[in-house]
Copies of this chain bind each other. A is one copy, B any other.
């Protein structure tokens, strides 16, 4: 569980300022849990009376993503979604085409295989996108 102090340290170590807006966006996304877009975060904050502008939500989410606090997820509907990265391990996503549900999965062997393939081509793996679009059986 990342504390606000840790958020402060991470931001400041990169030359970013530790502002109340950034705290609010970060804490809100953590509290919400799951995968959410900027508009949802903005609405949630607004409904609580806190004043964080839409632009700041977008900017903050971007800062957090660049610093590994948050993960960006694009499922193909043109809306970027984000999830707070606590201490949890890496995982990929299954998206149910019936319900829109996002199920997380992790497979050791799958991760290894990707590395192997990339190496075979003379490259280094920086990141990957792996999404399985499924239907209920």
Q: A74-B74, A117-B105, A121-B94 are in contact. Are A132 and B137 (CB under 8 A)?
A: no
Contacts of A114 in B (CB 8 A): 110, 132
Is the CB–CB distance between B133 and A127 below 8 Å?
yes
Query: Does A32 touch B at the CB level, under 8 Å?
Result: no
- List which A118-137 residues lie within 8 A (CB) of chain B: 118, 121-137
Interface of A is mostly: strand
> Distance in Å from the Cβ of A33 to the closest Cβ of chain B?
20
Q: A interface vs B, CB < 8 Å?
A: 74, 76, 94, 96-97, 103, 105, 107, 109-110, 113-114, 117-118, 121-137
A-B contact pairs, 29 of them (CB 8 A): A74-B74, A94-B117, A94-B118, A94-B123, A97-B126, A103-B121, A105-B121, A107-B117, A109-B113, A110-B110, A110-B113, A110-B114, A110-B117, A113-B113, A114-B132, A117-B132, A118-B132, A118-B134, A121-B134, A122-B136, A124-B134, A124-B136, A124-B137, A125-B134, A126-B133, A127-B133, A128-B130, A128-B132, A129-B129
